[in-house]
Structure 1
Amino acid sequence: MTGGNRKDRTFLDRLPLPERTFVTDALRTETVGGMVLLAAATAALVWANTPLSSAYESIRDFHFGIDALGLDLSVAHWTADGLLAIFFFVAGAELKRELVVGELRHRRTAVLPVIAAVCGMAVPALLYGLVATSRGGTWNGWAVPMATDIAFALGVLAVIDTHLPSALRAFLLTLAIVDDLGAILVIAVFYTSTISFPALIGAALGLGLFFHLHTRRCVHGWYWYLPLALVIWGLTHASGVHATVAGVAMGLLLRVAKDGERGRRPAEHIAHLVRPLSAGVAIPLFALFAAGVSVSGDTFGDVVSNPEPLGVAVGLAAGKVLGIFGGSYLAVRFTGARLSRDLVWADVLAVAMLAGIGFTVSLLIGELVYPSPEDLEHIKAAVLLGSLASALLACVLLRARNSKYRRLYEEENLDVNADGIPDIYQRHTAAPDAPSRNRPRHGGDSGTPSTRER
C-alpha cells in the first residue's frame, strides 16, 4: 500500500518488511481465531435448531452479576458488553499502531485504503436505506451492514486454503480496523439514549489515570491495569455509553514508542498478548450466544419479505463490494496511482466481497437497534444470509486466482540463505529507475521511532 510521490504511488504494493512481519503475526492469530469462530457460529446454529434449543435459550438468557452496581446481566449481555470490550481493546491498539508507525501514518499510504474503507461503510448504509424505505421500512438498521469481520474472513480463507498475498491481507486488515473505529463511533453517538454524567466523568478520570500510568510514568505490570480497566469498563457501562467504547479508548491510549528498557513497542506487545484471548475466546463466545437463530424456509422467507432484514442482507452482500471496490477504483483513478503490477482488479473485487462478511459487529449493532426478539431474529438471519453470500462469492474468485497467489506467496517467503529475511527484501539493483518492487523497502519504513510516536 505504499508508493513514492504522486505519479508513482502504487496501490497494494509489497509491504515494507517490518509492516509485513507485524501483519503476518497479527493475522496468524486471527486466522486460528477465525476457525474457532466458525466452529462457534456453527455450534450455535445447530444448537438453536435441535430439540435442545430451549436449553440454549435458557443459558443465553440466564442472569448473574451484582445487581447493586447495575451489572445483573444475561450471559448474552455479558459476552456482548464484556467480552467484546476485549475485542475492541485490541482494535484500538492496532489502530493506534497503524496511525503512529504503520501504513496509516503517511497520507500517501493511508488515503487509498481509508477511502476504500469509508466507502465500504457508507454505501452499505445507503443501500440499506434505499432497499428498506422503498419497501415501506425505516432507516433504523442502517449501521448493521457497515462492519467487516476480519476473524470470520480469515477463517474462510483458511477453509478454502488460499495463499492471499500479504498486501491483500493487510488491505483486508486495514478495512477491518477502520470499520471497527466507525462501528464504535456509531455505537457511542447513535445508540446512547441516556447518559449518567457522574459515571461518565468517573470513566474519563479512570482513562486519564490509565494514560498517566502507562504513557507518562511507564508503569509496568498487569496487576496495575487490570483492576483499573475493570473500573473504567464498569463506569462506562453505568454511564449509559456502550461498554465496548471503554475497550477501544484504552487501546488508543497505549504507548507506541519503543520501551527504553525492553526495546519493544508496548502497544504491539500488549496486543500480541491479548489477541489470542480476543480471537480465541471473546469473539467465539459472543458468536455462540448471538448466532443461534432458528433456520427454516420461513426464516429466510421473512428476510426477503421484510424491508429491514432485506436491507441488511443486500447491504452486506452488495453494498460492501460496491463501496470498497468502487472506492478503491475511484481513489486510484483520481489520485494518479496505479495498481500493483502483481495484482489485477479482480483481486480487489474478491477482497471487497470477502469484506461483506460482517458477522460479529453487525450482530452487536443489530442487538442494539432491535430489542424485540422477533425483529432481532430476522436481523440475525439477514446478517448470516448476507455474510454467507459474500463468503461464497469471494471464495469463487479467490480459488480461481489461487495459483497466482501461491506463486506470489512463495516468492514473498523464499529465504535461500536462511537468515530470517525473505530474499525479495534483499534484492539490490544498480539501475536508479528499476521498478520499486525490486528494491528493499527499508529506511523510513524500517520501524525506527519518529518524533510523532507516543
Structure 2
Amino acid sequence: MSPASPAPQTPPDRPAGRPRLFARGTFLEHSRTAEILRAETTGGLLLIAGAAIAIIWANTPWSDVYESIRDQRVGPSSLHLDLTLGAWAADGLLAVFFFVAGLELKREFVAGDLRDPRRAAVPVAAAVGGMVAPALIFVLWNLGGDGSLRGWAIPTATDIAFAVAVLAVISTHLPTGLRTFLLTLAVVDDLLAITIIAIFYTSDLDLLFLALAVVPIGLFALLVQRRIHSAWLLVPLALLAWALVHESGVHATVAGVLLGFTVPVLRRDGREDARGLAEHLEHLVRPISAGFAVPVFAFFAAGVTVGGLSGLTDSLGDPVALGIVFGLVVGKTVGITGSTWLLATFTRADLDDDLSWVDVFGMALLAGIGFTVSLLIGELAFGHGSTTTDHVKVGVLVGSLTAAVLASVVLRMRNRVYRRICELEERDTDADGVPDVFERDETS
C-alpha cells in the first residue's frame, strides 16, 4: 500500500464482535491522553534541548567546566548524601519522574483503558516484546565480553517524552488508537524498567534502612488515603522515604514509584468524569517532572566527549555501544511489531479499520528512542565516569537518533492518511461536546 493511499476499509465478511487492535478508547480517556501528550511534548523538547547543550558543551574547549559542574559535590556527608550534582539529578530528580510514572501506572490499571484485560493485552505484549528482543540482541553482541553483559537492560527502555517530542516536531496527525497505544506502551515499559532496576541493579542491600523506609511510606499512604494532600505533610515524608531507600542500597527512584502507588485513584463520590487524587497530584507534579527534573537529568547525563569522527568511530567499535544501537533500532522494532502481530494472529483480532501495519511499524521504530532510563541503567551497570559508560552514552544517543530519523520518515509518509483520519473522527460533534465517533464506538 502506498503511503498516501486511503486507510484500509472493514472487510465485508468480518465476523461481528471480533476484537480490534488499537481501537479508540472512551472520549474521556482520549481527552486525558491528549492533555498528557501535550505536556510530554513540551517536556520532550526541553529534554532534547538539555541533552543538546550538554553534548555541545562537552565537546568544546570548555568541557572541563561542564565536568566540574557535573562533579561538584553537594549535601551533608554525615548522612551519606554528599552527592555530585549529576548523582543528585539521577537519584533525586528522577525520583520525581518515577513518582509521576507510579501515579500514571496505578491510574491506568485501576481506572484507565488498561483495566480492561482485552485492551491491556496489546500494550503489555508489545512492551514485553519490546524489552526481550533488545536485551537478546545486546547479549548476542556482547557474549564473551568481560562484564559487558551487565548492561543487557540498557536498550530495553522507551523514553516517552523524547518520542512524543519527535511526533510534535514532525507534525504527525496520529490516530487516537495509536496515540493511546504509545502512552500505554510507555506506561507498561516504565513498570518493567522499574522492576529491572529494583531487582537487577540493587547492590549492598541494607534491610534495616529498607524496613525504616516503610514508616514514612506508610504514613504517606495513610494521609493520601484520607484525601489529605497538604504539601507541608507529604513532601517531608516523601523526602524521608527517598533518603532511607537511598541508604538501603535500592536505587532511590524506586521510592518515587512506591509513593505513587499509594495514592488513591477513584473518587469517594464515585464520579468518573472528575479528577481523583492520583490524577490531581499528577497534574501538579507532571510539569515539574517534564519541565525541570528530566531536562536537568538529561543535561548532566548526556554530556560525553566524543572526540570528533575518530572518537565516535572508536566508541561505536565497542560491542556495548553496538549492542545498544542495534537493540534500540532493530530490537524494539522487531519486538513490538512481532509481539503485536503474534497477538493479532493467535487471538484472531483485526487491526482497527483506519490503520495499517505500516503504522504499527512506525510506532515500533519510534519506541526505539531510549534516553532517560537507558542512560540511568548505563550508569548503574558500569559506574559513573568509566570509559564504558561514555560508550554507553554514545550508543544511546546514536541509537535514539537513528530510531527517531527512521520513525520520522515512515510516519511522515503516513501523514496525509493520519490527517484524513483525524478530520473524519472530529468532523461531527454534538452539543454535548463529544465527537460522534466516540458515541458510535460505545454503542456498537
Please give the TM-score of this superposition, normalised by the length of structure 2: 0.92
How far is the alpha carbon of 1:135 from its aligned partner? Answer: 7.2
**Is structure 2 residue 291 aligned with structure 1 residue 290?**
no
Structure 2 counterpart of 1:104, one-letter code: L
Encode CA deviations 1:110-143: one digit per residue, 9 max, x unaligned. 1122111101011100110011217787311100
Does the Cα contact within 8 Å between 1:136 and 1:307 map onto a contact in 2? no
Counterpart Cα distance in 2 of 1:385 and 1:311: 11
> Would you say the 8 A contact 2:316–2:394 is kept in 1?
no
Find the counterpart in structure 2 of residue 152 from structure 1: 162
- Name the counterpart of 1:78: 88
Q: How many residues align?
A: 426
Q: Which amino acid aligns with 2:321?
A: P
Select 1:143's aligned residue among 132, 135, 153. Answer: 153
Q: Secondary structure, in 3 states, of the residue corresponding to 2:245?
A: helix
Equivalent residue number for residue 347 of structure 2: 335
Per-residue CA distance 1:401-441 (angstroms, 9 max, x = gap): 00011112223333555643223234xxxxxxxxxxxx242
Partner Cα distance (2:348, 2:441) in 1? 23
Residue correspondence of structure 1 range 5-404 to structure 2 within 5 A: 8-133=18-143, 138-215=148-225, 217-260=226-269, 263-295=274-306, 296-371=308-383, 372-404=385-417
Q: Equivalents in 1 of 2:51, 2:38: separation in Å?
A: 20
Q: Residue 139 of structure 1: SS of its match in structure 2?
A: helix
Distance 1:442 1:194, change over 3 A: farther
Kindly indicate whether the alpha-carbon contact (under 8 Å) linking 2:227 and 2:277 is maintained by their aligned counterparts in 1: no
Distance in 1 (CA, whole Å) between partners of 2:62 and 2:285 is 34
Distance 1:270 1:189 in 2: 28
Whole-Å separation in 2 of the counterparts to 1:369 and 1:81 = 14
CA separation of 1:23/1:134 partners in 2, compared to 1, >3 Å: closer, same or farther?
Answer: same
Give the CA deviation at 1:51: 1.5
Does 261-270 or 345-354 show the bigger shift? Answer: 261-270
Match of 1:450 in 2: none
- Residue deviations 1:193-220, cap 9 Å, x none? 11122211111122111111211x2223
Amino acid at match of 1:266: L
- The CA distance in 2 between the partners of 1:6 and 1:192, in whole Å, is 50
**Distance of aligned partners of 1:336 and 1:277 in 2 relative to their CA distance in 1, 3 Å threshold:** same
AA aligned to 2:418 is Y
1:335 positional shift:
1.0
Residue 414 in structure 1 maps to residue 415 in structure 2: no
Task: Tell me if structure 2 keeps the 8 A contact 1:291–1:380.
Answer: yes
| Partner amino acid, structure 2, of 1:23 | T
More divergent stretch after superposition (86-95 vs 125-134) = 125-134
Find the counterpart in structure 1 of residue 4 from structure 2.
Answer: none
Given residue 274 of structure 1, which amino acid in structure 2 is its aligned partner? Answer: V
1:331-370 superposed Cα distances (whole Å, 9 cap, x missing partner): 1111111100100000000000000000110000001111
In 2, are the aligned partners of 1:120 and 1:320 still within 8 Å (CA)?
Answer: yes
Secondary structure of 2:129's match? Answer: helix
Structure 1 residues 234-269: Cα deviation after superposition (integer angstroms, max 9, x where no partner)? 111011110000001111111011144995311111
1:169 Cα deviation from its structure 2 partner: 1.4
State the alpha-carbon separation in 1 of the partners of residues 231 and 146 from structure 2: 52
In 2: Cα distance, 1:416 partner to 1:190 partner: 50
Aligned residue type for 1:28: R
CA distance in 2 between partners of 1:56 and 1:301 (Å): 23
Task: Give distance in 2, aligned partners of 1:348 and 1:440.
Answer: 21
User: Which deviates more from structure 2 when the two are superposed, residues 262-271 or residues 237-246?
Assistant: 262-271
User: Aligned partner of 2:251: which letter?
Assistant: H
Deviation string for 1:303-324 (max 9, x for gaps)?
3321111111111111000100
Inter-partner Cα distance in structure 1 for 2:86 and 2:28: 39
- In the superposition, the TM-score normalised over structure 1's length comes to 0.90
Comparing 361-370 with 192-201, greater Cα deviation is found at 192-201
The CA deviation string for residues 5-38 of structure 1, in whole angstroms up to 9 with x for no partner, is 9961110012211111111111110011111111
For residue 162 of structure 1, give the secondary structure of its aligned residue in structure 2. Answer: coil
Whether contact under 8 Å (2:21, 2:344) holds in the other structure is yes
AA paired with 2:27?
A: L
| SS across alignment from 1:220 | coil
CA contact (8 A) 1:33 1:279 kept: yes
Q: Which runs of 5+ in 2 are unaligned?
A: 1-14
- The answer as to whether partners of 2:123 and 2:188 remain within 8 angstroms in 1 is no
User: How far apart, in 1, do the equivalents of 2:438 and 2:269 lie?
Assistant: 28
Query: Which amino acid letter does the alignment assign opposite residue 227 of structure 2?
Result: C
Contact 1:259 1:266 in 2 (8 A): no
Root-mean-square deviation over aligned CA pairs? 1.9
